[in-house]
Amino acid sequence: MGWWQVNADTLAGSRFVLSPLAETFAALKLLHAGTAAHPGERAWLDAHLGDYRRRLAAEPVTAALVAAGLGKEWIADFLTPTPTGRTVGPEDSGTQFATEVARIREASPEAARAHLTVALRGPLPTILQGREDLPARAADLLDYIWTEAVRPYWARRRRVLQADVVARIVQLSQGGWAAALDALRPGMRWLGENRLQVNLHEYPPREISGAELFFVPVTPQRHGWVTWEEPHRYAVVYPCSGVLAGAEPTAAPESLNRLLGPARAGVLALLGSPLSTSQLVAVTGQGLGSVGRHLKVLLDAGLVQRRRAGRSVLYSRTPAGEVLVKSAAPPSPTSPTSTTTSWP
């Protein structure tokens, strides 16, 4: 198994960050696999997989590059530069992506070929041997995927990513680092004695104490990856919680919309499980002031309750709120008296 030696100061200084390039590379992995983990991914693949495959069919060198770089056990390192931790606002996401992808474009051809050889666990195919344009081709492909298949959805994806970060921070406040890290991605767990297992691959332990450590969520439902720039920067890229990675939440029942207004009804419908104000802002896309006003009205009406979890305040429906949501919902085909608020 692969594990990192992490001292307390490094773990305490670690951060969750968002990366448009990581999201785009995760999208590339999903396009390469061609299989979806949930209906939201299936709809996205239906919209973009055909164009992606036509592009690769017209560019056999790039197709061979992708096949080599996404190895069965290893990813070619130059394709996944470690995030710097500089997260910008949604209006600057294009600039952030351009800065990140430029690091791939600037990789040396020799290093790119060496990394591809490691990912393949064998010699490069003839079509890739000696080529000087592999970093540029990889950057061009990722730029295409960002422009055509990620950026049009970035506003919603960014809200989903922010909501996941909030949920992880709440989990951290409730169960500590061991619980938060164990649940982050498959194969990852806290081993004790300052050891963080990051995956199940066999490679020598790494001493990362004193380095920057980032946790980077992505929405496509795969296993994520780890990346580093020794000795200064390390990152764990992990898939969002499944409940947050699908499409928009199911709308509140229409009768509840008429009673409370669509925005307030939507907040109440989401509170079947505890959420913080920041998480509600991230999921709904409403402003902090609007969410705060809705919560105050719902609290005054006895429809939601709040409790503190570490530094966070979590809101959830009261029994009265549960009755209101369930009574407003149309009967389901299988159970006339039950309803759920779900993420497809």
3-state secondary structure of 274: coil
What's the pLDDT at 251? 61
DSSP state, residue 75: B
Closest C-alpha among 18, 268, 290, 21 to residue 164: 18
Strand partners, 189: 197
pLDDT above 60: residue 344: no
pLDDT above 90: percentage of residues in the chain: 58
DSSP state, residue 130: T
Cβ–Cβ under 8 Å, residues 179 and 189? no
Instruction: Provide the terminal-to-terminal Cα distance of the chain, rounded to the nearest Å.
Output: 34
What's the pLDDT at 342? 24
In this prediction the pTM is 0.77
pLDDT above 70: percentage of residues in the chain: 90
pLDDT above 90: residue 248: no
Query: Within 10 A of 155 (CB to CB), how many other CB atoms are there?
Result: 11
What's the pLDDT at 304? 94
What's the pLDDT at 186? 85
pLDDT tens, residue by residue, 269-306: 888 777 888 778 877 878 889 999 999 999 999 999 99
pLDDT above 50: residue 51: yes
Position of tokens 């490679």?
Answer: 203
Of the pLDDT bands very low, low, confident and very high (cuts 50, 70, 90), residue 338 is very low
The span from the CA of 150 to the CA of 54, in Å, is: 18
DSSP letters for 241-256: PHHHHSSSPPPPPHHH
Can you say whether residue 268 is alpha, beta or left, with left for phi > 0 and alpha for psi between -120 and 50 degrees?
A: alpha
Position of tokens 């591809």?
Answer: 116
Of the pLDDT bands very low, low, confident and very high (cuts 50, 70, 90), residue 310 is low
Q: What residue spans in the chain does CATH classification 1.10.10.10 cover?
A: 249-328
The span from the CA of 280 to the CA of 339, in Å, is: 21
- Nearest 5°: the CA angle 98, 220, 233 is 55
Helices and strands, number each (H, E), in the chain = 14, 11
249-328 fold: Arc Repressor Mutant, subunit A (1.10.10)
User: Which tokens is 261 given?
Assistant: 């207004």
In whole numbers, what is the pLDDT of the chain averaged over residues? Answer: 87
Q: % helix / strand / coil in the chain, to the nearest 5?
A: 55, 15, 30
Closest C-alpha among 256, 258, 344 to residue 303: 256
15-33 residues labelled b (16+ CB within 10 A) or e (exposed): ebbbbbbbbbbbbbbbbbe
User: Which tokens is 277 given?
Assistant: 């104000």
The span from the CA of 173 to the CA of 180, in Å, is: 9
Residue type, 12: A
Position of tokens 């061991």?
Answer: 178
Residue type, 62: T
